[in-house]
Amino acid sequence: MADEIVKAQESKSTRKKYVLKKRETVKTDYKVNYENDLNPAQLSAVMHKKGPVLVIAGAGSGKTKTLTFRVARLIEDGIKPENILLLTFTKKAAAEMLSRATLVLDDRCEKVAGGTFHSFANIILRKYSKFLKLKSNFTILDKSDCEDIINHITGQMFPKKEKRFPKKSTILEIYSKSVNKETPTKQIIEEEFPQFAHCEDKIIEVHKAYVGYKRENSVLDYDDLLLYVKLLLENNESLRKKLSNQYQYIMVDEYQDTNTLQADVIKLLASEHSNIMAVGDDAQSIYSFRGANYRNILDFPKLFEGTEIIKLEQNYRSTQNILKLTNTIISKAKEKYAKTLFSNIESPIVPALICAKDTQMEADFICQRILELLDEDVNLSDICVLARNARMSYALEIELSKRAIPYQKFGGPKFMETAHIKDIVSHLRVIINPDDIISLNIILLLLKGVGATTVNNIIPIIKGNLNPNIKLLPSNKTTSLVPLLKTLENLRSQISMRKPSDIVEDVIEYYRPILKDKYDDYNKREKDLDHFQYLSEQYSNLEDFISDMALEPPDASVEGMYKRNSDDEALTISTIHSAKGLEWDSVFIIGAVDGRFPSAYSFNSAEEMDEELRLMYVATTRAKNNLYITYPVDMYDYSMNMVLSKPSRFLNGIPDDILEVWDITEEG
């Protein structure tokens, strides 16, 4: 018997062992029924305790819901709201998540620190500016402000520019990429702008002057906000530990869109605990032109040792037939986290590929199909046309106007970039920060009879002092100059006593005569002033209002949309980049011709081609029920001197049962 036992034991030792993992159980005393409200993958992400976790959230898989419930769960587990940090790419996204979390649990969720990277950086810098020898009332510059500074500097340093000297916007792009990629300016020029290698030294010289100018005048650009926060955390160990211990749990939305600098800031903030949840989708990384680093999400497990990876694959947006197409498209990507989206929404409708003779036929098809969808009870506002770039929709816009189909186009003039709003904001910036010579320059040039030479003479007198000795001012300009300075100084003295909306109202009333004198269409532009006034009413602090307008500007001016009246439903026309995160019942992807989508510029770069592929994936995953991909076979490309006629290579070899081919015939 003993021998038999020994033999049995020996036999057992040679057998393969299979370990049953300890089953994770959910506390039963939670107020929220997490098991009931979440699918298994979402539940796993929400219940993750400590340490780094990467949530690969496929399109339409409920990442917002996951983050929302995660906030609620942390608070239910006793984590103080102020110890939770939620970083997003839009203020709206953070507000929506925390609002939903409040509905899920209670108003404790509203106290969670949430916002964009830049708004968070703005708060930190204003609080700890002394560590950087920075004034706390610094002005945040927008893109046009930065370009004006660069233009001013280059004009002074190099009055006679070389023939191939880059434009101010290009110089700013070089500097921005240098900061966000944490790469020397010299290297950026060599790798991405080799056509300007001959004036490399001058560009670097301008960069140094640009940095010094901002420092001297207490102004920061968007990139400075994150750069300075990184420097703050790197160079002050006690402050880094303090902030890391304050934000014990960090969640980052759309992690695939982070740049190198943002990833470094996150790493520093999580240095004391590594309790970080990164949520994103590598398949939707499409913003490299903004500096986003695709490698951040791919290398997250390397950056944070012991990372748990959770995949959200159940899609709640699209039909299974649409997902068959999107899965097929993204499977062609070279580097990716393997996942297969699935849906319980069944439909007999298969995505369609439509070949048109030319752009006019393409426009005719789309208009006719839109009218048919309306007859099928699809709302016009639930239909979208997506294009690789804004220019591709011009022919369609003409046809829509002819047929009186109202539409709105994403990517028009930005609200904060309109000249009249810039004028108002400049007055308010000077009230907050009299050292802001960019804004001083703008408002002084609005005065009658005041030109650039006079402004250059006045600014040294009034910079930092809105109540100067009048005798120092040009005697022939005091009639217009003194009322302006008195208005600004008076309002500056009232900042702490009056609501921002009251100060904004006073500035607008001062500005109205200037508006009427400067613009022939002032009556239309006044609508924007009213909207700006309305926005200010939501704030209790003027500085916060102006900072938010710079960091999170409203999308568009009241101009630029073809709608019969404000109550009309409207079709949406959008670039694919602007449509990310949105959804519609029916989607048209136009101009899907090889050479345009993907762009011919990506043909020689595997990395760029992969991003174009991801862009197609993003476009196709916007549709819920109907998806139409169109391309013209007679499109002349002047840059390549050839006719483009083939459908996008991303659609090659896809079976008809996944992508149905339609032939267009003309009546008669």
What Å distances lie between residue 279 and 88, 189, 258, 505, CA to CA?
Answer: 10, 33, 11, 42
Catalytic residue check, 254: yes
- Number of neighbouring beta carbons within 10 Å of residue 309: 12
Taking a C-beta distance cutoff of 8 angstroms, is the pair 563, 418 a contact?
Answer: no
- Which entry of 221, 223, 224, 254 is annotated as an active-site residue? 254
Q: Which of 173, 221, 253, 548 is catalytic?
A: 253
Query: Residue 342 carries which DSSP code?
Result: B
| 386 and 497 Cβ atoms separated by less than 8 Å | no
Contacts of 598 (CB under 8 A, 6+ apart): 609, 612, 613, 616, 648, 649, 650
- Please compute Rg for the chain using Cα positions: 28
Q: Which run of H or E residues covers position 360?
A: helix 359-375
What number of other Cβ atoms are within 10 A of residue 19's Cβ? Answer: 5
Q: Tokens 């510059």 sit at which residue?
A: 141
* Identified catalytic residue from 64, 183, 360, 418: 64
**Annotated catalytic residue within 63, 230, 336, 477:** 63
If DSSP codes are grouped into helix, strand and coil, which group holds residue 276? strand
Give the pair of three-digit tokens for residue 114: 């949430």
Q: Is there a catalytic annotation at residue 253? A: yes
Q: Encode 460-476: b = buried (16+ Cβ within 10 Å), e = exposed.
A: eebbeebebeeeebeee
Residue 608 catalytic? no
- Contact between 587 and 574 (Cβ < 8 Å): no
Q: Are residues 353 and 660 in contact, defined by beta-carbon separation less than 8 angstroms?
A: yes
d(CA 411, CA 390): 7
Cβ pair 591, 597 in contact under 8 A: yes
Catalytic site includes residue 399: no
DSSP codes, 436-503: -HHHHHHHHTTSTT--HHHHHHHHHHHTT-SS--GGGS-GGGHHHHHHHHHHHHHHHTTTTTS-HHHH
- Neighbouring CB atoms inside 10 A of 656's CB total 9
Query: What contacts 633, CB < 8 A, 6 or more positions away?
Result: 355, 356, 357, 358, 593, 645, 646
Q: How far, in Å, are 283, 300, 313 from residue 340 at the CA level?
A: 11, 21, 6
Cα dihedral value 231, 235, 237, 241, nearest 10: 0
Q: Six-digit token pair at 581? A: 């995160």
The reply to whether 284 belongs to the active site is yes
| Residue for token pair 């903030």 | 269
In the numeric block, the tokens 């943002």 are attached to: 262
Pairing of strands 276-280, 53-57: parallel
Sheet holding 623-632, edge to edge: 407-409, 571-575, 383-387, 584-589, 623-632, 352-356, 660-663
Q: Which of 284, 359, 620, 621 is catalytic?
A: 284
Cβ contact 632:361 at 8 Å: yes
Taking each helix axis as running N to C, give the angle between helix 359-375 and helix 394-402, from 0 to 180 degrees, rounded to the nearest 10. Answer: 50
User: For residue 64, what are the contacts with CB-CB under 8 A and spacing of at least 6?
Assistant: 93, 96, 97, 100
Sign of CA dihedral 23, 28, 30, 34: positive
**Per the residue annotation, which of 317, 388, 409, 622 is the catalytic one?**
622
| Alpha-carbon gap, residue 91 to 548, rounded angstroms | 9
Active site residue 63: yes
Catalytic center residues = 63-64, 253-254, 284, 622
